[in-house]
Amino acid sequence: MSILFSKNFSTGSFVRPQGYTFPVGLFGGTITSVDYLVVAGGGAGGTTYGGGGGAGGFRTASGFSVTASTSYPITVGGGGSPNLNGVGGNGGNSIFSSITSTGGGGGGGNASTPGAVAPGASGGSGGAGGLPEQSVGASSPGGSGTPGQGNNGTTTNRNPGVLSTSGGGGAGAVGGSNSGYNGGAGGAGTASPLSGTPVTYAGGGGGLGWTAGVGGNRGAGGSGGGGGGERINSNPNADPGSPNTGGGGGGANEFGFNGGGSGIVIIRYAGAQAATGGTITSSGGNTIHTFTGDGIFRTEFFSIN
């Protein structure tokens, strides 16, 4: 904004308005390294005896070098979309600088041909296999996880009396195996302290279970936002992965709200604010930038002192 002066016509000088304080300089800061957490979107659970979705890739490190006065685009991956007839959609990748976390793999499903299997998709963590169609003794493999980001999806086996599926992989563990009419639990996620308090992310989706007079249970979602599987004849819909956790969606038999959870990016550095972008908070002497959607992290911050 413009600075206004009044003129003294007898002397010809300009006078500063009363109460105005001139800026004496700029206050700001620069940073050269940050800690980061980059979690991708989780995979959706499969349908038609679908397996649990895999969690989004989980990557974190300290002391990552950044350059002053530089803009770093941030991408936060969305959760995978449910598919009415088959394998759940994979989650979207999350990106910060050179760090890319891979979206979670969708759970397998829709093995419509007798004897066919329904493998889970690969991703940050892999989706679990869906139930093989009318073939006792067959197995549907889980998808592969990405090394350093997550775990493999779990194989679903069809043995006599089995009508259930396994859980998707999580950042911290593989999912549980199906057993009889009980769905396998989603794999556990991993905790991060970067938000100021430990929060667990990237849990796998649980497998579906059967309850038609036999008392089976659906698989629980993995800690870190994984969705629980469908409980056939009791709970008509599987649960989605929780938003901004990268959790996988639960395995379903009918089309339900079993999409994956969106991802998140958190950047932290020591001291007062010295960058812009995201939601900015502070904790324990650190400044924290949290991105729950796409944005820009810029390594400079100045204010008039």
Query: What pLDDT score was predicted for residue 257?
Result: 80
In terms of phi and psi (left: phi > 0; alpha: psi -120 to 50; beta: otherwise), the region of 148 is: left
The single-letter code of the amino acid at 55 is A
Quote the pLDDT of residue 212: 64
What confidence score (pLDDT) does residue 163 get?
A: 85
41 and 242 in contact (C-beta within 8 Å)?
no
CA distance 24 to 304: 8
Residues in the chain, total: 305
SS3 251: coil
Gyration radius of the chain's alpha carbons: 25
Burial of 116 (0-12, 13-18, 19+ CB in 10 A): middle
Q: Name every residue whose Cβ is closer than 8 Å to that of residue 23 and which is 6 or more positions away in sequence.
A: 304, 305
**Residue-level pLDDT at 100:** 98
For residue 179, what is the DSSP state? B
- Residue 3 is predicted with a pLDDT of 44
Question: 0.85 cut: is pTM over it?
Answer: yes
C-alpha distance from residue 96 to each of 39, 199, 254, 295 (Å): 10, 20, 36, 10
Q: Report which DSSP code applies to 271.
A: S
Minimal CA–CA distance to 145: which of 104, 86, 112?
104
Quote the tokens at residue 82: 């449910």
Low-confidence ranges of the chain (pLDDT < 70): 1-29, 212-214, 235-236, 255-256, 301-305
Tokens of 13: 């000088």
SS (H, E, C) 72-140: EEEECCCCCCCCCCCCCCCCCCEEECCEEECCCCCCCCCCCCCCCCECCCCCCCCCCCECCCCCCCCEE
d(C-alpha 253, C-alpha 215), whole Å: 17
For residue 22, the model assigns a pLDDT of: 44
Q: Tell me what pLDDT residue 25 has.
A: 43
CA distance linking residue 291 with residue 279, whole number of Å: 7
| Interval 65-82: pLDDT, tens | 999 999 999 999 999 998
pLDDT attached to residue 135: 74
